[in-house]
Amino acid sequence: MKCSTMHFKTLREVPAEAEIPSHILLLRAGMIRKLVSGVYGFMPLGWRSIRKIEEIVRQEMDASGAQEIHMSAIQPAELWQESGRWSAYGPELWRLRDRNDREFCLGPTHEEIFTDIVRHDISSYRQLPMNLYQIQTKYRDEARPRFGLMRSREFIMKDAYSFDRDEAGLDESYRIMYEAYERIFTRCGLIFRPVEADSGAIGGSNSHEFTALSEVGESEIAYCEKCSMAATIERAECVNAKATDGPELPMEEVYTPGSSTIEAVADDLGLDKSQTMKALLFVKYNEEGQEDGYVAAFVRGDRELNMTKLVNALDISEHAIAFADEEAMGAATGCVGGFTGPVGLHDCTIVVDSELPGQKNLCAGACKADHHIKNVNYGRDYRGDIVTDIKVLGEGEPCPVCGAPVKYARGIEVGQVFKLGAKYSESMGACYKDEKMESYPIVMGCYGIGVSRTLAAVVEQHHDDNGIIWPMSVAPYHVIITLMKPDDEIQSGVAERIYQALREAGVEVMLDDRKERPGVKFKDADLLGIPLRITVGRGAAEGMVEYKLRRDAERTDMTAEEAIAEAVRVVNEERHG
């Protein structure tokens, strides 16, 4: 297309609200447009790249046997009430009412809708397995929308749902999707790592996140260079510290005025933090949003509590728990802010990290202001209602698989695959009959890709100080012809000839024929990140042009014919990713 007739508006200045490169560059290149916080529109060039990502997704989904459908973003509350998620989903669910006061939500995801489809349409094992997907707009009223397309309130997602007769079938569907995701993200030009992810209270190896490696990513992953262990921090299992030996000493109450933190009490009593334990205090809420009991979680003083593991241990939703008001909780349970220990605590669920029973003679709060107790021992002095791993696997700690020191990396979660099992089919009654006419719940998997987030992740991994450097496969156009002097007949003639030849060869090409200074055109070409630039300037009189790849500094003078041939070759080699 010719730039003189195109709509795009580039910005020289960095927009005030943008902090990370992808957000800054997508705004500066005029590819996205903010409407309100967390809600963005796509301008022509941005939309072309979105459609390319969608096309890659579509091709790989279709090739793996999935079928595309398209459901409404508006979903009736009744389906969510059936699955139990109307209350469990929390404030991210964007709820609305129609004129007759009937309740709806804007779909943050579509498990209920797809389960509803199959419970009506599937009755026999002969119809299984099946995989349905859509590419569609999702809504989540995120607490902190930020970073542009990374965490927005309206975004494009590919969501797929597989339906099988048993676990073995699900394992196969899951493997097929996992492999399709590897191809999709590779074709989009991403450097990524599939990592084990939290799969709620079900546990096991039931979910993977696909993480595009990036310093600005919100996902933290732990991985091991010696073995293949890689998991999100929420999910990563943690090796318990070796049990300590020796006799259990008698408990001793000590006066520790003002030492309400682990650091202070360890200092005060000359202990290592690992010889102490700390308490974290929470209140639970029921489905009606009313307070529903207190929780005290204990981990060793040098550890961090893993909130996801705690929520899974309690088998509640993450929205059903919050930090407790210490005074109110104190009145009900005997805890004392900054001085809470397991001894003397009552009327609350006590969750004890799995390594504490092996740790002898720890120092804990005394449930009494300005006091601690030394030599607290599990079994003799306190017990947990739940004893399980609720701690964070720290960087450098032993890998849970092979014991080598664990490394940390950051990344952007671009996709997730998940074995749902019979969670939705049981609650919503989606069953099939087998050969003997016996009825069983359909076994499900779900598979999401953040299409708009993937666009941002690509920019995050492919840019420099001057702008975006699109991989060919998702670039809005493959080639930009920068015409230095549109008024010069020879130059514009050569540019036009290259433009037509490339178009005939199926190359997507922009011709910058705007009446702008060359400096402006070069800056825009770099900012937009078109992978290949052909500059038509003074050399045109001799049939010469300049050929340059956006990713390389090197420029090469060649004839227009050579530039056309070279561009066609490179584009065809790289366009499918």
Nearest to 118 by CA among 478, 422, 507: 422
Q: How far apart are the first and last CA of the chain?
A: 23
Q: Which stretch binds ligand ATP (CB under 6 A): 148-156, 224-232, 310-318, 474-482?
A: 148-156
Min dist. Cβ of residue 217 to Mg ion (A)? 13
Least separation, in Å, of the C-beta of 449 and ligand ATP? 6
How does 136-157 read in b/e, with b if 16+ C-beta sit within 10 Å?
bebbbbbeebbbbbbbbbbbbb
Which backbone phi and psi does 497 adopt, to 5 degrees? Answer: -65, -45
Pull the structure tokens for residue 456. Answer: 């941002």
Of 131 and 452, which CB lies nearer to ligand ATP in the complex structure?
452
What distance in Å separates the CA atoms of residue 470 and residue 49, rounded to the nearest whole number? 9
Q: Single out the residue of 24, 128, 157, 195 in contact with ligand ATP (rule: CB under 6 A).
A: 157
In the shown chain, the binding pattern of residues 228 to 257 toward Mg ion, with x for contact by CB under 5 A and - for none, equals ------------------------------
Residue 476 binding target from Mg ion, ligand ATP, none, CB below 5 to 8 Å by type: none
CA distances from 111 to 78, 162, 196 (A): 13, 10, 21
Nearer to Mg ion, 49 or 416 (CB): 416
Is 462 in contact with 471 (CB distance < 8 Å)? yes
223 touches 410 (CB < 8 A): no
Q: Based on CB atoms, which residue is closest to Mg ion, 208 or 360?
A: 208
Number of chain positions touching Mg ion (CB under 5 A): 1
Residues 244 and 361: their CA atoms lie apart, in Å, by 9
Nearer to Mg ion, 43 or 446 (CB): 446
Give the whole-angstrom CA distance, residue 353 versus residue 340.
Answer: 16
Contact yes or no for 400/237 (Cβ under 8 A): yes
For 301-312, the DSSP string reads: TTS-B-HHHHHH
- Closest to 26 in 3D by CA, of 467, 373, 417, 324: 467
Q: Is 30 in the site for ligand ATP (CB under 6 A)?
A: no
Asked if 82 contacts 50 with a C-beta cutoff of 8 angstroms, the reply is no
Beta bridge partners of 162: 131, 445
Least Å from the CB of residue 475 to ligand ATP: 21
Our finding on whether 134 is near Mg ion (CB under 5 A) is no
Rule CB under 5 A: say whether 416 interacts with Mg ion.
yes
Distance of alpha carbon 115 from alpha carbon 431, whole angstroms: 10
How many residues line the site for ligand ATP (CB under 6 A)? 15
Q: Closest distance between ligand ATP and the C-beta of residue 183, in Å?
A: 17
Part in contact with ligand ATP (CB under 6 A); list of ranges 168-176, 246-254, 398-406, 449-457: 449-457
- Asked if 448 interacts with ligand ATP (CB under 6 A), we say yes
- Report, in Å, the least distance between residue 142 CB and ligand ATP: 5
**Other CB atoms within 10 A of residue 532 CB:** 26
Q: Which of 165, 303, 419, 453 binds ligand ATP (CB under 6 A)?
A: 453
Q: Contact 236/220 with Cβ under 8 angstroms?
A: no
- C-alpha angle 363/367/371, rounded to 5°? 60
Binding flags for ligand ATP, 367-406, as an x/- string (CB under 6 A): ----------------------------------------
461 binds Mg ion (CB under 5 A): no
- Per CB under 6 A, the list member of 49, 131, 152, 425 interacting with ligand ATP is 152
Q: Quote the CA–CA distance of 508 and 481 in Å, as a whole number.
A: 11
Query: What is the distance between the alpha carbons of residues 267 and 394, in angstroms, rounded to a whole number?
Result: 22
Q: With respect to Mg ion, which residue has the nearer C-beta, 152 or 416?
A: 416
In the three-class reduction of DSSP (H, G, I as helix; E, B as strand; rest coil), residue 374 is classed as strand
Residue number, 318 or 381, with CB nearest to ligand ATP: 318
> Tokens 């099988």 identify what position?
164
In terms of CB distance, is 184 or 567 closer to Mg ion? 184
Compare residues 71 and 558 and give the one whose CB is closer to ligand ATP.
71
Residues from 153 through 212 that contact Mg ion (CB under 5 A): none
109 interface partner picked from Mg ion, ligand ATP, none, CB below 5 to 8 A per type: ligand ATP
Among the residue ranges 8-16, 77-85, 112-120, 448-456, the one whose residues contact ligand ATP (CB under 6 A): 448-456
Show the binding pattern over residues 408-427: x = contacts ligand ATP (CB under 6 A), - = does not. Answer: -----xxxx-----------
- Looking at the chain, the number of H-run helices and the number of E-run strands are 14, 31
142 binds ligand ATP (CB under 6 A): yes
Interface positions with ligand ATP (CB under 6 A): 109, 140, 142, 151-152, 155, 157, 413-416, 448, 450, 452-453
Interface positions with Mg ion (CB under 5 A): 416
